[in-house]
Amino acid sequence: MKTTRISTSRQHTNPKPWPVCALLACLLLTIPTLAQTYQPTPENMKNREWFQDAKFGLFIHWGVYSVLGDGEWVMNQQQIPVKIYEKIPTFFNPTDFDPKAWVQMAKAAGMKYITITSKHHDGFAMWDSKVSDYNIVKRTPYGKDVLKMLADECHKEGIKLFFYHSQLDWHSPDYFPRGSTGGSWTGRPESGDMNKYLDYMDAQLSELLTGYGEVAGIWFDGMWDKKNADWRLQKTYSLIHKLQPGALVGSNHHVTPFEGEDFQMFEKDLPGHNTTGFSGEQTVGALPKETCETINNSWGFNLKDDHHKSKKELVQYLVKAAGYGANFLLNVGPMPNGKIQPEHIASLKGVGEWLNVNGETIYGTRGGPLTARDWGVTTQKGNKVYVHLLNWFDESITIPSWGKKIKSATLFAGKTPVKFLENDYGITLKVPKANLDEIDTIIELELK
Ligand code: FHN
């Protein structure tokens, strides 16, 4: 795979007087790297700052697979050949889909952006694609462009919209050679042209980046299906940045970011952790970070999945992600009728109520001066450091000092002063038991 990994440092050398042909030779040598050195625009850098301040987004896995209520991998898991799977869109008729309700739910949860599946691995387009009629307008009784409806509502309500887009495609005959998934059971001919597939993908991306207003970014997924293929990343990433320079490109390839990417995501793990096996091969880079997670155990709608995470689990996950300087992208899998499961609406409302009170200690912050500890994390903004006691139930705690003197310590809830002592052993904070919160006891430290 001919693609440059992002290095953190850039080397600048002062050229000596060289004979012309030698100079030409070096020029020829440097052109590929020059061409590939991605320079994010000031608008892109501004959006990266916005992204890091936003902290909390809604992930939406929705597609015709929702009809079967067995998650977004049902085609692969049940090995449903393309010819048969193509019947499912004729059953997809989400007449209760209400983009206003979705956007209001996200806003009530304290979320600042939405990332929705434009096309998942089954290859079905959730918009009115002119490049392929395998889409929601041409192949479903519903016949409306749900991405257009959602984009219009998001723009009206000031919620930014990202498009998840799968590079892996179990439907396209040109997604060839096949990868680790979507084998012969799809019934596709054992032939195809990957470059033709990538042309098709770029054409569909162009539709999304030219017909839906401002797109905050593209959330790629699926490269892991063919790790060693030439995905022509620079071509695709340059296309996106040409059509929308401010758009943030990220790819869930589970390896260290490539040139041209604007943020790094971590699937079902906090940055630097690998409890779920997705993050084994990636180092935490300098790009803005985002952790994505399911609100139950499924991305797409799963009828049987009742492992709904509690408000405490969700709030603590959001706070921990912020402590790592990462965003939290929390997923729901809407039902085939277009409604969100009531349990998930309630959980999101609960998180929103917590953020209404404590949002100042999350939004606009960066990871704190102390890395994550068993007792919790820290976030910081300006001369304020927020100590989040997520797992501490004693009246006093001593945390390491980091070289900055403390001017005052205040319980964020109720703004009551907190006794503190600074010495060589660290900073000892005394919080009366009555003030300990079972979800997150936040102590605001003002620095001298
Ligand atoms: O296979 C996908 C899966 O369906 C889902 O989209 C998640 C979201 O992060 N990503 C892939 C698994 O790594």
| 294/306 Cα distance (integer angstroms) | 12
Cβ–Cβ < 8 Å for 259, 38: yes
pLDDT of the residue at 25: 63
Going from the Cα of 159 to the center of ligand 1, the distance in angstroms, rounded, reads: 23
pLDDT of the residue at 280: 84
Which residue from 265, 226, 231, 261 is spatially nearest to 247, judged by alpha carbons? 261
| ∠ Cα 426 429 433 (to 5°) | 145
State both tokens at 213.
């207003």
267 lines ligand 1 (CB under 6 A): yes
Amino acid letter at 168? L
pLDDT of the residue at 10: 42
Cβ–Cβ < 8 Å for 354, 311: yes
Mean pLDDT, residues 381-390 taken together: 98
Cβ–Cβ < 8 Å for 267, 294: no
Going from the Cα of 299 to the center of ligand 1, the distance in angstroms, rounded, reads: 7
Determine which residue's CA is closest to atom 9 belonging to ligand 1.
267
The yes-or-no verdict on residue 94 having pLDDT over 90 is yes
Going from the Cα of 151 to the center of ligand 1, the distance in angstroms, rounded, reads: 22
Q: Beta strand 366-367 with 326-332: parallel, antiparallel or unpaired?
A: unpaired
For 297-340, how does the pLDDT look when each residue is reduced to its tens digit (9 = 90+)? Answer: 999 999 999 999 999 999 999 999 999 999 999 999 999 999 99
- Give the nearest ligand 1 atom to 168 CA: 1
Going from the Cα of 221 to the center of ligand 1, the distance in angstroms, rounded, reads: 7
pLDDT of the residue at 434: 94
Mean pLDDT, residues 95-117 taken together: 98
- Give the nearest ligand 1 atom to 299 CA: 5
Cβ–Cβ < 8 Å for 288, 48: yes
pLDDT of the residue at 281: 85
Going from the Cα of 273 to the center of ligand 1, the distance in angstroms, rounded, reads: 17
State both tokens at 133.
């009629």
The yes-or-no verdict on residue 34 having pLDDT over 70 is no
Phi/psi at 216 (5° precision): -70, -25
The yes-or-no verdict on residue 7 having pLDDT over 90 is no
pLDDT of the residue at 28: 57
pLDDT of the residue at 2: 46
pLDDT of the residue at 24: 64
Domains of the chain, earliest start first: 43-364 (3.20.20.80), 376-447 (2.60.40.1180)
pLDDT of the residue at 146: 98
pLDDT of the residue at 129: 98
**Residue of 73, 124, 220, 252 to mutate, ligand 1, most atoms within 8 A of C-beta:** 252
pLDDT of the residue at 4: 53
Mean pLDDT, residues 158-186 taken together: 97
Give the ranges where 231-385 is alpha helix by DSSP (H): 233-243, 311-323, 342-358
On average, the pLDDT of the chain sits at 94
Determine which residue's CA is closest to atom 5 belonging to ligand 1.
299
pTM: 0.93
From residue 170, give the alpha-carbon distance in Å to each of 18, 173, 191, 202, 278.
54, 8, 14, 17, 21
pLDDT of the residue at 12: 42
Share of the chain above pLDDT 70, in %: 93
The residue that leads in pLDDT, 34 or 444, is 444
pLDDT of the residue at 27: 59
DSSP state of 323: H
Query: What are the strands of the beta sheet with 56-60, ordered from one edge?
Result: 248-252, 217-221, 160-166, 113-119, 56-60, 326-332, 289-294, 264-267
Give the ranges where 211-329 is alpha helix by DSSP (H): 233-243, 311-323
Confidence of residue 429 (pLDDT cuts 50, 70, 90): very high
Going from the Cα of 73 to the center of ligand 1, the distance in angstroms, rounded, reads: 9
Mean pLDDT, residues 150-169 taken together: 98
For 69-90, how does the pLDDT look when each residue is reduced to its tens digit (9 = 90+)? Answer: 999 999 999 999 999 999 999 9
The yes-or-no verdict on residue 9 having pLDDT over 90 is no
Q: How many CB atoms lie within 10 A of CB 195?
A: 11
pLDDT of the residue at 107: 98
pLDDT of the residue at 396: 95
290 lines ligand 1 (CB under 6 A): no
Which range, of 15-19, 233-237, 389-393, 402-406, averages the lowest pLDDT? Answer: 15-19
Confidence of residue 30 (pLDDT cuts 50, 70, 90): low
